[in-house]
Each structure stands twice: as structure tokens, then as C-alpha cells.
Chain A
């Protein structure tokens, strides 16, 4: 995830002009964060593009998961050796899209060797717990509730380029019985927030308590005190959470976004 100088994913290629290893690596221009935005809605694409540009990101916006894979060169089996270096620092995708959902796109990205390290953020207009957890479990870095605001994007931007050196104590642990957090990676700068936090301040270490504390000060969405035991009747039969979340009644929650440390492969 976030390393010094921000995250980038450089596709290895013998034809690269600039040496990629060792001393010859080009310094990453911290302002040149390149984001791939995926949304089937034109209005939303325009808005997210502007939100990102205004926070000094370069943006490539596409209208489907397939086009995203195409852009990343993941749409076929061909080795990417002959392709130019592609630097993508963040992928932000809508969840509900025809054809390939954001979740399916997330899975494909996380399955790829070239791009699995790229943080993927999911956007959705629906605050469905099981959906959120499913995405985070699959390796999504963050989950934003639509409509996306400038503060949300600024927050994303800040954790992409800052030099993350947080102690492990600040890491948001998953609920007990869940998979362990990968401790070799820097922890997320801002875990669960429960209210529309103004992120003009530096990413807060408003850390939710460790699950062992079993005190859930967070909104109803926070169920850290419950073990992940019972499978949820979710459309994908994923065993995710013990929240009796029913997709027909998405909770209106004050939480604007959910974030959980998810283990990487």
C-alpha cells in the first residue's frame, strides 16, 4: 500500500527507457497521482473527475469495468511486457454497474500481479453493510458513500501521498475471528469514521477501538463486538458479518464511509 512517495504500480517492461530498479528509479512526482475512475453514469464521471482534478490528480475516467480492465491491460492473457509503463496510483469505482460490478472489478484487480497493490476505492449510493464488508474483505482500501464530496476525495488524496508511519496500535483491527491484519503494511490513516468528518484537518487517527475492547462507539454499522460467525443471507452467500443486514432495508447511517484494514494476499 502506501509507501514513500505514494503508491504506484509500474508495469514491468523490458522496453522501459528508465531503469526501474535500484538507483535509476524515476522519482515519483507527488503531485502526479494518477487515478483511474470507473462509473457508468456520465454525470458521476464528470463530477468525480473534477473532484480528483481539483485535488491535483491526473484522471482517466472510463464507463465500465471492462474498459477499466482494458486500460490496465488485464483484459487478456497476453504478457504485458510489450506495453508501456502504466502508472496507476488509485482506482476508484462505482459499485453498481451493468455488466461488471465494482466488486467484480475489484476482484480482478486484486487477482492480478501487476495491480493488486493499487488501492481500490468503491463508491456506492447504497449504504449496505454486507456490501461494504464484502468489498473491504476483498481488499478494497476504502468505501465511499455517494454523493462523493470534496472532503472525501481530499482524504483519499492525503493517504496516497503521505509518508505513512503510523504505529501498529493505530491500526483498525477487524472484528475477532476475522482474518488477521497484515502487519507488514502501513496501517490506514483514517479508519472508520462515524460522522461526516471534515477532512480538511490532517487524516485523523480517530481510531476505532480494537475489537477486543468490545466497545462499539461507532454507529449501528459498527459491529466489531460480534464475532463473524453466522453467515449472512447475502446474494453471494459470502460469510461476512453477523449483522442482520437485509438488503431490502439499507440502514440510514451517519457513517459516510467505512474503512477497515483488509489483508492483502
Chain B
């Protein structure tokens, strides 16, 4: 009979694998995990938290710029998109990064409708990732609280 710890560990493993397979995360997230150790046990959580704050700020900038009806500064939007693309790349937020690529193209071609669509998608996507990673971190916590160790998951 499975112990609670074993069950949680299995859930954690399966969930992690699914996040990669569904394209939410890429190997840069794995790289971040390498930087986590006993001295910095919350490194990944801290970095992604900063990333999500960044998302909120940058998306706000983009929304404001796109809101200037008739006078949209696409280079300004583009510059925020560029920054978001950079930070999403650095944390392994694969889908967000992919959306930024499309978004940048819309900015470059001054495609207003395209930009608005991309903005909506990016907003949904980062929030979705945020929720999923929160679930993942919660699982980690539960494992530790149940006295177990967080398994290393090889993707």
C-alpha cells in the first residue's frame, strides 16, 4: 500500500512531466532547478515569483500603450514584449515566450488587432502558468511536510 509520501511524490513527478510535455516549461526551468540547493532551497520559487511580477508590470505597460487609440506607439509595446520574451526565456516559461515571438511580429508590423489578441493571450498564459507552478510548489511542500524528499524528475 502506498504511503502518503509515495503518493505525493508520484503526483509531483507526473505533474512535472506533464508541464514539460504540454509545453508550459522547457529545459531552462530544469537549469533553474540546478541552481537550487540547501542554501537556496526556494530559489526557483523566488525567481518565478519575480517573473510573474515582471509579467504583470510589462503587460500593464503594453495595455496602456495599446490603449492610446489612434496614437499607439508600437515600438514601446515591442520593447515591453522584448523584455517579457527575455525573462520568460530565462525561467523556462515556454508558452509565454512563444506568444511573445508572435506578439513581437505584430508589433513590428504595427498590427493593432494582432497585438490586442496577443496581449490577451499572454495575460491568460502567464496566469495559467502561475497557477500551475503554485500547484507544483504546493505539492513540494506537502511532500516535505509528510516527511519525504522532493524527487528529482528527469524529463
0/1 string, B72-85, CB within 8 A of A gives 1? 00000001001101
Write out the residue numbers on chain B whose beta carbons fall within 8 Å of the beta carbon of A46: 46-47, 50
Proximity bits, B18-52, A CB within 8 Å = 1, else 0: 00000000001001101101001001001100110
Q: How many residues of chain A are within 8 Å of chain B by beta carbon? A: 17
Q: Is the CB of B125 closer than 8 A to any CB of chain A?
A: no
Instruction: State whether B54 touches A125 (Cβ < 8 A).
Output: no
Question: Which of A41, A98, A146: most chain B CB closer than 10 A?
Answer: A41
- In the assembled complex, 22 residue pairs joining A and B whose CB atoms fall closer than 8 Å, in A order, are A41-B83, A41-B86, A41-B87, A43-B50, A43-B51, A43-B87, A44-B87, A46-B46, A47-B32, A47-B90, A47-B91, A50-B35, A54-B37, A96-B82, A125-B85, A125-B86, A146-B86, A146-B89, A147-B31, A147-B89, A148-B90, A150-B31
Which residue of chain B has the shortest Cβ distance to A248 in the bound complex? Answer: B108
Shortest distance between the CB of B129 and any CB in chain A (Å): 14
Instruction: Answer whether residue A149 sits at the interface, using C-beta atoms and an 8 A cutoff.
Output: yes
Knowing A50-B40, A50-B43, say if A43 contacts B90 (CB, 8 Å). yes
B54 in contact with A149 (CB, 8 Å): no
Q: Nearest residue in A to B52 (C-beta to C-beta)?
A: A43
Q: A51 interface residue, CB < 8 Å from B?
A: yes
Evaluate contact between A44 and B86: CB separation under 8 angstroms. Answer: yes
Q: How far is the CA of A43 from the CA of B119 in the complex (A)?
A: 21
Complex: how many Å from CA A47 to CA B48? 11
Total number of residue pairs linking A and B with CB closer than 8 Å: 52
Contact of A147 among B34, B37, B90 (CB under 8 A): B90
Query: Using a CB–CB distance below 8 Å, which chain A residues touch chain B?
Result: 41-44, 46-47, 50-51, 54, 96, 98, 125, 146-150
Residues of A within 8 A of B43 (CB): 50
- The CB with the most chain B CB atoms within 10 A, among A41, A46, A54, A147, is that of A147
Closest B residue to A54 by beta carbon equals B35
Cβ proximity bits B107-146 to A, threshold 8 Å, 1 near / 0 not: 0000000000000000000000000000000000000000
The 9 closest A-B pairs by CB, nearest first: A43-B87, A147-B28, A147-B90, A50-B35, A147-B89, A149-B31, A43-B51, A44-B90, A125-B86
Residue among B34, B50, B91 making CB contact with A150, cutoff 8 Å: B34
A43 and B31 contact, Cβ closer than 8 Å, known pairs A96-B82, A125-B85: no
